[in-house]
Structure 1
Amino acid sequence: MFKLLVTAALAAVGICQYSVPSNSTNSTAPATFSNPIVGAGADPWMFRHDDYYYLTYSNNVNVMLYRSKSMTDWEHAESKLVFAPPPGLNYSTDLWAPEIHNINGNWWVIFTADPLNDSPPPEIEMWCEYNCPAVHHRMFVAVGKGDDPWEAKYQFKAELDTYDQFAIDGTYFQHKNQLYHIYSCWHRQYDGWPANLCITKLSNPWTVDSPFSERQIISVPEYPWEKTPFGRASNDRLSSNEGPQQLTNPTTGQQFLIYSAARSDNRNYCLAQLELVGDDPMNPGDWRKHPYPVFYQNPSESAYGVGHASFTTSPDGTEDWIIYHGMQDPTNGWSARSIRAQKFGWKEDGTPDFPKPGYGPYEVPSGQ
């Protein structure tokens, strides 16, 4: 995800009304909807709180929060500036993949950013085996205090320690009252590629409790579909594991990590799955990796590059929904991405059963 579309949120400087592009124009609660639900955007993070759905996604320059009574209609969504970094800091540019988590009664914003607009000087980049424009990307945290994510006052809190190494797409993972940080990482500071999944233990949402010697890599791009071009054998350039998201089976309690594989500007971008089959997320052996992608392109409907998902439920809580980005024309790369929503179910073995990506029309979420 090494370049992002700067959307109209670029100009946002406060709380305002903002029309997010959408296919839906009917305000009389239609029975169906069509994808995309946001016409331009990537790395969506959506959650439901009280009577609203909340959405944030990458815009490169700040963290915007949108809210709507409808999961699938964002045309008249309200918008709020959550966090805008001052210039000249290590987190002033290239803000990617923001997420907002409710932890212990406050709202924690976790995002990645860098100080150099993705352009390290030659004296730095020369250490990388391959081109490494995101070598200075790190993970950062802001916090909004209060019960309501809309009314909370957000402020910068800290950098999450990633041992002065590349880090993007960080998320919080909670298991047995312990909080973890899972993010996309390199083996070493100047690797450039591949991008893997790392995990560290947290003592609170902004403090890493694991020394570097205890950082664990729980997934590396090993299968042909995790590499770009598909099946590349000559080197690891463009091979990526990124965008991890926790997903819990509401019936069995099984814990999954759904992550993105391959490269986000490419038709082969897809979702992959780790299942926590042991008791210790810090033990790579306690994770079981699915040998095939679990959500992938559907050329018959021109749905390509599907990935970087988050998960929510229908208004009445009876349905599970995946929110993701994809492209209709993969030749346009990052600028072609839009945000989509689809219902998914669960298989008999307790693993998620994702549909084929498409455009619909689909029935609106139950209770909407």
Structure 2
Amino acid sequence: MKKTLTLLLALAAGSLHAQETTFTNPLLPSGADPFSFYKDGYYYYTHTTGGSVDIWKTRSLADLSSAEHKTIYRPPAGTPFSKHLWAPEIHFLQGKWYAYFAADSGKNEGHRMYVLENPSPDPMAGEWTMKGRVADPADKWAIDGNLFEYKGALYMIWSGWAGDKDERQNIYIARMKNPWTIEGKRVMLSTPEHEWEKSGQKVVVNEGPQALMHDGKLMIVYSASGCWTDHYALGLLRFSGKGNPMDSTAWTKHPEPIFKTNIAHKVFAPGHNSFFQSPDGKEDWILYHANAAPGLGCGGKRSPRMQRFTWSADGMPVFGEPVAEGVVLKRPGENGN
């Protein structure tokens, strides 16, 4: 009897330890366009809700389902930014918190980028106020804004239209004067050109750009093909490192997708990703959404997932295959293991 009890206690302890060191995808039942920002020991996570900007606060994204959660902004009715709030991001810049999102008044052609500001050290506290629209002089349709710093300068990249018709989404870049103001004109870095970026669709898409830096080299990972298809996948742009990131000729597009649907693993349309590092800064992770079955498109079935990735000898991110739901993975390392 005593041996049996000891064995049961050992098994229970082993199970608890496994829960503390492992996790499985998805991280939440649903949540498209996942993004996180790490500061002072906490990850601040957000995703598209449609009607508000929400953030989650957690020591580990593996614990996202039990994380502290707060709606930080719900827009008033009757404004150009009242509806269709998409792809929010939260950043700590120049001593304050900023939350970026795309929104419209109810019609998609009105989508533009907006930014909120909060001077509180903790984004779960303090007051979030509307700072305004973030737009270049062209002020065309814009979604999926991402900010990054490179060699002391601040830039925004986003997905937008060249004109006023929903025919083609391109990736644009502009330099920022400050966290809420674009300085100068936008420059187009990428437009759908390969078949895997088009997938036979009438409306072709490059969207969800995310800056990624490794060993001082700058890259942009973006989503291509429509989210309404199972062909939704990730592509890569690489900056030469020479001159200015605003020079479109200094960027090269990888000819093939670098992360895509895996039918065998039942992971469909993986995309609109972001990146983070483990708390010890020794591991690189990709955070993305995907569907668990074909044909689910852009709806509420998309769920956030994460997995560790590595680097090739020539500095390319190696994401591997999207991991199946329920597969036990090691949590992001606290001590590099």
Tell me, yes or no, whether TM beats 0.5: yes
Q: Could you tell me which amino acid in structure 2 is paired with residue 323 of structure 1?
A: L
**TM-score, length-normalised on structure 1?**
0.82
Higher gyration radius (CA): 2
Partner residue of 1:253?
A: 216
Conserved 8 A contact 1:109-1:142? yes
Q: Could you tell me which amino acid in structure 2 is paired with residue 143 of structure 1?
A: E
Conserved 8 A contact 1:40-1:339? yes
Instruction: Describe the SS at the equivalent of 1:334.
Output: coil
Q: Write the deviation string for residues 192-238 of structure 1: whole angstroms up to 9, x where unpaired.
A: 1110011122211111211xxx32111000001101xx2x2xxx622
Partner residue of 2:3?
A: none
Partner residue of 2:50?
A: 60
Query: What is the CA distance between 1:300 and its match in structure 2?
Result: 1.0
Query: What is the CA distance between 1:27 and its match in structure 2?
Result: 9.4
Q: Does 1:200 align with 2:174?
A: yes
Conserved 8 A contact 1:145-1:152? yes
Query: What is the CA distance between 1:99 and its match in structure 2?
Result: 0.2
1:362 maps to which of 318, 329, 333: 329
Count of matched residue pairs? 316
Query: What is the CA distance between 1:306 and its match in structure 2?
Result: 0.3
Q: Could you tell me which amino acid in structure 2 is paired with residue 184 of structure 1?
A: S
Q: Does 1:221 align with 2:192?
A: yes
Partner residue of 1:122?
A: none
Q: Does 1:318 align with 2:282?
A: yes
Partner residue of 2:5?
A: none
Partner residue of 2:233?
A: 270
In 2 relative to 1, CA 312–152 (structure 1 residues): closer, same or farther, beyond 3 Å? Answer: farther
Q: Could you tell me which amino acid in structure 1 is paired with residue 170 of structure 2?
A: N
The separation in 1 between residues aligned to 2:155 and 2:131, in whole angstroms, is 17
The separation in 2 between residues aligned to 1:307 and 1:267, in whole angstroms, is 10
Structure number having the greater strand percentage: 2
The separation in 2 between residues aligned to 1:164 and 1:312, in whole angstroms, is 30
Q: Does 1:170 align with 2:108?
A: no
Partner residue of 1:14?
A: none
Instruction: Describe the SS at the equivalent of 1:30.
Output: helix
Q: Write the deviation string for residues 317-368 of structure 1: whole angstroms up to 9, x where unpaired.
A: 2111100000111222223211001000111111211121012221121128
The separation in 2 between residues aligned to 1:194 and 1:83, in whole angstroms, is 30
Conserved 8 A contact 1:95-1:112? yes
Q: Could you tell me which amino acid in structure 1 is paired with residue 268 of structure 2?
A: Y
The separation in 1 between residues aligned to 2:264 and 2:76, in whole angstroms, is 45
The separation in 2 between residues aligned to 1:74 and 1:27, in whole angstroms, is 18
Q: Does 1:139 align with 2:113?
A: yes
Partner residue of 1:295?
A: 259
Query: What is the CA distance between 1:32 and its match in structure 2?
Result: 2.1
The separation in 2 between residues aligned to 1:181 and 1:172, in whole angstroms, is 4
In 2 relative to 1, CA 52–74 (structure 1 residues): closer, same or farther, beyond 3 Å? Answer: same
Q: Write the deviation string for residues 63-83 of structure 1: whole angstroms up to 9, x where unpaired.
A: 000112222122211111211
Partner residue of 2:163?
A: 188
Q: Does 1:307 align with 2:281?
A: no
The separation in 1 between residues aligned to 2:148 and 2:280, in whole angstroms, is 25
In 2 relative to 1, CA 332–27 (structure 1 residues): closer, same or farther, beyond 3 Å? Answer: farther
Q: Could you tell me which amino acid in structure 1 is paired with residue 202 of structure 2?
A: R
Q: Could you tell me which amino acid in structure 2 is paired with residue 188 of structure 1?
A: G
In 2 relative to 1, CA 91–27 (structure 1 residues): closer, same or farther, beyond 3 Å? Answer: farther
Conserved 8 A contact 1:265-1:330? no
The separation in 2 between residues aligned to 1:26 and 1:294, in whole angstroms, is 36
The separation in 1 between residues aligned to 2:121 and 2:43, in whole angstroms, is 15
1:94 maps to which of 84, 88, 112: 84
Q: Could you tell me which amino acid in structure 2 is paired with residue 173 of structure 1?
A: F
Q: Could you tell me which amino acid in structure 2 is paired with residue 346 of structure 1?
A: W
2:202 maps to which of 207, 231, 237: 237
Q: Write the deviation string for residues 171-191 of structure 1: whole angstroms up to 9, x where unpaired.
A: 1132222212211111112x2
In 2 relative to 1, CA 28–80 (structure 1 residues): closer, same or farther, beyond 3 Å? Answer: farther
Gaps of 5+ in 2: 1-14
Q: Could you tell me which amino acid in structure 2 is paired with residue 301 of structure 1?
A: H
Q: Write the deviation string for residues 7-31 of structure 1: whole angstroms up to 9, x where unpaired.
A: xxxxxxxxxxxxxxxxxx9798433
Instruction: Describe the SS at the equivalent of 2:264.
Output: helix
